[in-house]
Amino acid sequence: MKKRINKFAGTLAVAVACFGLLLTPRFAAAHCDTMDGPVVQDARKALNTKDVTPVLKWIQVKDEKTVKDAFKKALAAQGKKQQQAAEKKFFESLVRVHRAGEGAPFTGLKPAGEVEPVIAEADKALAGGSPDGLVKMVTDSVSQGIRQRYEKVAEALKHKDEKVQKGREYVEAYVEYTHYVERLQMDAEGHAAHHGESAHKKHAVQKLEHGH
C-alpha cells in the first residue's frame, strides 16, 4: 500500500508542477503584487525605455487606457519631485487591473522579497532552464501531505464504529484526505479555479453517504 501511495504522490506532484509552469497567468498572479515581481519589473522596463509595450501583456485590452494614462503621468513626472509617487501610482494601477483580470483582489504592493519559496523556485527554474529543483520541491511537499492525511484517516477508520465521536473524527479526516487529493488532481488538470472548496467537501461527504 505504501508503495502505491508513494507512486501516486510522485506522479501527481510532477503533474502539478508541470501544469503550474504552463499556466502562466495563474502562476504570475501568485507574486505579481510584489515590488520585485515580474509585473513591476516590466513596468520599470517600460519607464526606462519610455515604451509602454512591455506591460501590455499583463492586462486585457479593455484596461489599456487606464494603464497607459498612468504610464504617461509617470513619464511626465520623471526628474521631478513627484516622480516616485507617480511611479508607484503607475505600478499600483498596472497590478490592480492585472489582478482584476485574473479574478484576484488587490491589497496593495508588497515589498520585494515577499514571495513564497515555491514561487521563488518556479522563477529560478525558468531562469535556469530546468524544472528539476521545482519538481523535487513540489513532489516532496505533496508526498508528505498525502502520507500524513492517509495515515490519519487510516487510523481513524479502525475506530469509526466504536463511538459517535470516533465516527465524526473519521468523517472529518476522510473529508480532509479526499478533498486534498481531489484538489491536487483538479489543479493538475486545470479545473480547480472553477470549483470552490465547499463543492469539494460536499462531494466528499456525498461519497461517504453512499458508502464509497
- Give pLDDT, residue 110: 83
C-alpha to C-alpha distances, 150 to 125, 173, 184, 201, nearest whole angstrom: 30, 9, 14, 16
Residue by residue, DSSP assigns 160-203 as TTT-HHHHHHHHHHHHHHHHHHHHHHHHHTT-GGGS-HHHHHHH
For residue range 144-200, what is the model confidence (pLDDT) as tens digits? Answer: 999 999 999 999 999 999 999 999 999 999 999 999 999 999 888 886 544 444 444
| List of the chain residues with pLDDT < 50 | 2, 4-29, 193-207, 210-212
Cell of 61: 485590452
C-beta of residue 174 within 8 angstroms of C-beta of residue 207 = no
Note if the pTM is more than 0.75.
Answer: no
Query: Amino acid letter at 89?
Result: K
Cα separation, 5 vs 8, whole angstroms: 5
